[in-house]
């Protein structure tokens, strides 16, 4: 079978602080190793119950060049490179299509506005207050579940810090395996399990996810169509800029919406709008 893995970094084993999340950070190199190892653990586990599986992993964090290709399991291929709308219109779900049967989300984090959530945000912390699908506030878990759900692909495994479990359970269809990698204390601190432990949990979780998929226990996340993905920005200037993208409408002072017949199109337009909103004004306009 074919399994799509969307890999983020904030929910990875041992990651609790911004210094670990960007290449200029002193502890980034260690964190990206742990990110790669988390993904490999999920792949190893899935191969236990589905030995002939192929995997595509989308590096879904920040610069999107975090996972270490030379350390990645040989059963996987890796989507590498920044999520410019012209390159990776599906952002953290780039590489997924109708040829996959199952999806895993590793290293995920809670949504923007989660009280005391570890490194919580949705898509772009510096720009976005909330994202909604058909009026419901969502995090990246429900957002990407809706994208892969377009192809009827269910999410079989979600891993991240403790507070993500309840968020995922409340926002995507039941049946997936939840793997906590750490217990959150606050925005930048958690009680962490070492890789030796989380890798066992991730491998066992992935093996169980494949079992549940084969038993028909997983359902794709399919929001009602036509679907509206709305983005509430921190500042009204961002909404004003985002609305320049074709297919985007202004909902209120700080909020824009992308409505489409399917979740892939709506997510593509919404992501393009978010990227446009962040563009700096040219020097001659400042």
Tell me which residues are annotated as active site. Answer: 121
CB crowding 18-27: b at 16 or more within 10 Å, else e: eebbeeeeee
- C-alpha to C-alpha distance for 273 and 241, rounded to whole angstroms: 8
**Positions in 34-93 near Zn ion (CB under 5 A):** 61
DSSP strand E in 90-242: where?
A: 102-108, 128-133, 136-138, 155-161, 177-186, 189-192, 227-233
- C-alpha to C-alpha distance for 119 and 185, rounded to whole angstroms: 11
Interaction between residue 182 and Zn ion (CB under 5 A): no
Dihedral, 27, 122, 65, 72 alpha carbons, nearest 10: 90
Which one of the spans 7-15, 63-71, 146-154, 219-227 is the region binding Zn ion (CB under 5 A)? Answer: 7-15
Least spacing, CB of residue 10 vs Zn ion, in Å: 5
Least spacing, CB of residue 13 vs Zn ion, in Å: 14
Measured from the CB atom, is 60 or 220 closer to Zn ion? 60
Measured from the CB atom, is 91 or 238 closer to Zn ion? 91
Measured from the CB atom, is 107 or 205 closer to Zn ion? 107
Least spacing, CB of residue 62 vs Zn ion, in Å: 6
Least spacing, CB of residue 38 vs Zn ion, in Å: 13
Interaction between residue 199 and Zn ion (CB under 5 A): no
Interaction between residue 272 and Zn ion (CB under 5 A): no
Q: Which two tokens stand for residue 4?
A: 């799509």
- Which one of residues 3, 6, 8, 229 is an interface residue with Zn ion (CB under 5 A)? 8
| 3-class DSSP state of 268 | helix
Binding site for Zn ion (CB under 5 A): 8-10, 61
């Amino acid at each position: 079978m074919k399994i799509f893995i969307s890999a983020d970094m904030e929910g990875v084993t041992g990651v609790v602080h911004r210094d670990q999340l960007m290449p200029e950070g002193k502890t980034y190199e260690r964190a990206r190793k742990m990110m790669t190892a988390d993904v490999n653990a999920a792949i190893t586990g899935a191969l236990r119950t589905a030995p002939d599986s192929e995997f595509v992993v989308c590096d879904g964090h920040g610069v999107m060049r975090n996972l270490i290709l030379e350390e990645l399991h040989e059963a996987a291929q890796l989507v590498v490179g920044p999520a410019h709308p012209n390159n990776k219109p599906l952002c953290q779900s780039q590489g997924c299509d109708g040829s996959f049967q199952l999806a895993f989300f590793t290293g995920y984090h809670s949504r923007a506005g989660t009280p005391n959530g570890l490194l919580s945000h949705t898509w772009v912390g510096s720009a976005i207050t909330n994202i909604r699908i058909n009026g419901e506030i969502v995090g990246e878990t429900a957002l990407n579940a809706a994208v892969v759900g377009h192809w009827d692909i269910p999410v079989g495994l979600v891993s991240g810090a403790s507070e993500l479990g309840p968020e995922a359970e409340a926002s995507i269809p039941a049946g997936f395996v939840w793997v906590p990698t750490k217990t959150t204390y606050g925005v930048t601190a958690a009680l962490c399990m070492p890789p030796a432990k989380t890798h066992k949990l991730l491998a066992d979780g992935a093996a169980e996810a494949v079992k549940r998929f084969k038993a028909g226990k997983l359902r794709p996340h399919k929001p009602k169509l036509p679907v509206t993905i709305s983005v509430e920005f921190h500042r009204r200037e961002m909404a004003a800029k985002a609305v320049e993208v074709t297919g985007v409408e202004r909902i209120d002072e700080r909020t824009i919406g992308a409505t489409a017949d399917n979740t892939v199109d709506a997510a593509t337009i919404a992501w393009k709008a978010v990227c446009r909103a962040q563009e700096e004004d040219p020097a001659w306009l400042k």
